[in-house]
Amino acid sequence: MTDQKLFEGIARKDDRAFQYVYQHYRQQIFHMVQQNSGNAEDAMDIFQEGLIALWSNIQTNRFELKDSARISTYLHTLCRNIWISRLRKKKPTQEVDGQINLAAREDTAAAIEQYEQTAALRKLLGQLKDSCRTLLQLFYYHGLSLALIAQRLDITEKTAKNNKYRCMQRLRTISKDTDL
Amino acid sequence: MNADFFAQMEAYLDGQLSRAELEAGARAAGINNVDAELAWLRQTRLAVEAEGLKQQLQQQFPSTGKREARVRSIWPRWAAAAAAVLVLAVAGWWWAHRSSVPELYAEYEFVDPGIPVLMSDTQDYELQNALSFYSEERYDEAIIRLEALRSDTPGNDTLIYYLGASYLYTGQTAAAAPLLENIADTDNSAFAQRAQWLRVLLALREKDREAAGKRAHTIADTPGHLFTREAQQLQEDLSTQ
């Protein structure tokens, strides 16, 4: 698969693109995590989080395919920096820097910042009621129309629209309360 | 902010409203900093989608940490002999209480919750709708919709795989078998490995130990297969029964 096809597939959240990445690029990422204080579960989690960071950077135009930009290299750098960030949350900075052979690369600093902000918001989603989470997921992730969501949840379309607004506002209040 | 201006911001981000129209809406709603509002909405939409993507990836790539490899240690001979006696005693108990094949099905069941999105070649709305029923584990409703779409898109591997999985989860193994077979044998399908594992589960569900063992063996021998670990474990469980 060419990088262009892969780029387009990841942007669409296409299973096939993720499968390709898993088959071709996971090993070096797993190795990097497991050689630096992580276990197999950490490695899989970092691989998945790296894919999410890559996807979100494609969505926000922070990552574009150019001659010098390879998806495999970029993904590896993202995973590496996410892993460093996670280790630093667990241990003092000096200990992490001294213990492991990892140096954060600056070329993804903005991308990681974006990822961290999104990750913090993702955590807050857990504080919403189930009904809110379901509605937001059906609309933003599944891409269903309000009419279909209304049918599904046995409410009117207008109620679906108002509830979606309320759920988003609730999320906003929670994020303000937590200083995000 | 009010619900109407919120809807206008959504329409703007989706390319359905011009900047001038949005700013007119902002003035009407008394919003001063449109860009800050847009940034918040973009970020929040991204987070909701990212959370959905995380669930998608967790299902597509089951964590390897769930089943830890068995650790073997090298014991001195006397310890091995003592252990052998113990093993015989335990084996006798275990033989009397061994797991049946249906229990193995429950133990190894992999419920693929579905990718709620987005086909590579099409944004087929109806298919997306059917798959969202699947994701909610409303398999009967998913089957009705997927069957209705099947004749229009006979070669769609996403449709065939999820239809097969739906039949399996509702216990309709005869209907599930040819569909999963089809995908499992399609090398370039992203669903092939999952279909291969579901075929193992199908055999377990039908209490066909031989077929389950053979299929598990094939998976266990495939380097990098998503279900290598489960297949190896199942082989061990089947061989000791």
A69, A72, A78, A83: CA torsion to nearest 10? -160
Q: What is the pLDDT of residue B150?
A: 85
Q: What is the pLDDT of residue B118?
A: 45
Q: Which of B50, B128, B224 sits opposite A122 (nearest CB)?
A: B50
Which residue in A135, A140, A166, A165 sits closest to A152, CA to CA?
A135
pLDDT band at B20 (very low <50, low <70, confident <90, very high): very high
A55 vs B91, higher pLDDT: A55
Q: What is the pLDDT of residue A157?
A: 93
Q: Which of B1, B43, B191 sits opposite A118 (nearest CB)?
A: B43
DSSP H helical segments within A35-156, as ranges? 40-59, 71-90, 93-99, 109-125, 130-136, 146-153
Q: What is the pLDDT of residue A108?
A: 72
| Tokens 């078998």 belong to residue | B177
Residue of chain B minimizing CA distance to A124:
B47
| Tokens 């990750």 belong to residue | A119
Length of chain A equals 180
Q: Are B33 and A118 in contact (CB under 8 A)?
A: no
Residue of chain A minimizing CA distance to B69:
A40
Q: Which of A47, A121, A141 sits opposite B43 (nearest CB)?
A: A121
Q: Are A63 and A111 in contact (CB under 8 A)?
A: yes
Give the pLDDT mean for B151-179: 90
B191 touches chain A (CB under 8 A): yes
3-state secondary structure B175-237: HHHHHHHHHHCCCCCCCHHHHHHHHHHHHHHCCCHHHHHHHHHHHHCCCCCCCHHHHHHHHHH
Q: Are A144 and B129 in contact (CB under 8 A)?
A: yes
B58 touches chain A (CB under 8 A): yes
**9-48 in chain A: CB under 8 A from chain B:** 9, 12-19, 22-23, 39-41, 43-45, 47-48
Q: Is residue B123 pLDDT above 70, yes or no?
A: no
Which residue in B28, B204, B45, B39 sits closest to A140, CA to CA?
B45
B38 touches chain A (CB under 8 A): no
Q: Which of A41, A43, A52 sits opposite B54 (nearest CB)?
A: A52
CB under 8 Å to B49, separation ≥6 — which residues?
Answer: A59, A140, A141
Chain B closest CA to A81's CA: distance in Å? Answer: 18
ipTM: 0.89
Dihedral sign for Cα atoms in the order A145, A148, A151, A153: negative
pLDDT band at B151 (very low <50, low <70, confident <90, very high): confident
The 10s digit of each residue's pLDDT in A14-41 is 888 888 899 889 888 999 999 888 998 9
Give the pLDDT mean for A106-119: 80
Q: Is residue B68 pLDDT above 80, yes or no?
A: no
Which residue in B115, B168, B212, B61 sits closest to A23, CA to CA?
B61
Q: How far is CA B96 from CA B18, B91, B93, in A?
A: 73, 9, 5
The 10s digit of each residue's pLDDT in A128-151 is 998 999 899 889 988 888 888 888
Q: Are B198 and B110 in contact (CB under 8 A)?
A: yes
Which residue in A122, A121, A109 sits closest to A82, CA to CA?
A109
Which chain B residues have a beta carbon less than 8 Å from that of A113?
A: none
CB under 8 Å to B175, separation ≥6 — which residues?
Answer: B167
Picking from A20, A140, A164, A167 by the largest number of B CB atoms within 10 A of its own CB, the best residue to mutate is A140
Residue of chain A minimizing CA distance to B51:
A122
Q: Is residue B155 pLDDT above 50, yes or no?
A: yes
The 10s digit of each residue's pLDDT in A66-91 is 756 688 888 999 999 999 988 988 77
Give the pLDDT mean for B4-11: 92
What is the amino acid identity at position B60?
Answer: Q
SS3 at position A12: coil
B30 vs B89, higher pLDDT: B30
Which chain B residues have a beta carbon less than 8 Å from that of A47?
A: 61
Give the pLDDT mean for B103-116: 71
Contact criterion met (CB < 8 Å) for A142 and B224? no
Interface A-B: count of C-beta contacts within 8 A: 124
Q: What is the pLDDT of residue B60?
A: 79
Q: Is residue B79 pLDDT above 60, yes or no?
A: no
B7 touches chain A (CB under 8 A): yes
